[in-house]
Amino acid sequence: MAKRKIITGNDPVLRTVCAPVQKITPGIVRLLDDMVETMRAAEGVGLAGPQVGVLRRVIVVETEPGNVYRLINPEIVAQSGEQEGPEGCLSLPGESGCVKRPMNVTVKGLDPDGNEVTVEAEGFLARAFCHETDHLNGILYPDKAEYMNTPDPDPEEEKMTPAAYRRHRAAGKKSR
Ligand code: ZN
């Protein structure tokens, strides 16, 4: 396994809709292992292909240490309920926001051996699968946030509307 570089900021790679994996090659299996290593090194709970510059529909999720999911062509096939809570992203370091997600999701995909896998996820795990599958469609969580926490908290204004957040990013992070 090898650690890969995590793409951050306004990189258009993070805004690209990823292509399905047609064939599970040794390269795809290695990619998933590398993504697990990269996620753990960064102390994240999930990572998607585009975050390491690979525009393929692959994700890894590990909300409980040791219980890691490596999914190819994942799809959320059912969802129910609602939860609202804080979310962050390894590609948007130092930022967080409040995002509404379903409380329960059913995720289908393939494991690295090509077996069909169905995961019934609840709570934080459901949130992680929603976040990671969004990445495969070029969606970042601030797009869906109720509000963003200001990166530089001002006691007068601790929350930022999504529109204010977009202006903040456009204005302040061009040099990245
Ligand atoms: Zn993310």
- Ligand 1 centroid to residue 115 C-alpha, Å: 25
pLDDT digits (tens, 9 = 90+) for 164-174: 788 877 776 54
Indicate the pLDDT class of residue 14, thresholds 50, 70 and 90.
Answer: very high
Q: What is the 90 CA–ligand 1 centroid distance (Å)?
A: 6
The residue-averaged pLDDT of 5-28 equals: 97
Residues 66-104: tens digit of each pLDDT: 999 999 999 999 999 999 999 999 999 989 999 999 999
Which of helix, strand or coil describes residue 122?
A: strand
The residue extents of the domains of the chain are: 12-145
**Long-range residue pairs from 60-65, CB within 8 A, at least 24 positions apart, any chain:** 60/32, 60/35, 60/36, 60/132, 61/125, 61/128, 61/129, 61/132, 62/36, 63/124, 63/125, 63/128, 64/125
Q: Which fold has domain 12-145?
A: Peptide Deformylase (3.90.45)
User: Residue 35 is encoded by which pair of tokens?
Assistant: 């993504």
Q: Which residues face 59 on adjacent strands?
A: 48, 71
Ligand 1 centroid vs 137 CA: distance in angstroms? 12
Q: How many CB atoms lie within 10 A of CB 124?
A: 13
What SS3 class is residue 49? helix
Q: Taking Cα atoms as reference points, which of 4, 9, 67 lies closest to residue 39?
A: 4
Residue 54's closest CA among 2, 4, 102, 116? 4
- What amino acid positions are annotated as catalytic residues? 132
Mean of pLDDT values over 110-115: 98
Judged against a pLDDT cut of 90, whether residue 25 lies above it is answered with yes
Q: Which pLDDT score, from 0 to 100, does residue 154 have?
A: 59
Please identify which residue in the block is written with the tokens 């697990």: 36
pLDDT tops 90 at residue 58: yes
21 neighbors 58 (Cβ within 8 angstroms): yes
The Cβ of residue 67 has, within 10 Å, a number of other Cβ atoms equal to 9
Cα–Cα dist 41/157, whole Å = 33
Ligand 1 centroid to residue 140 C-alpha, Å = 7
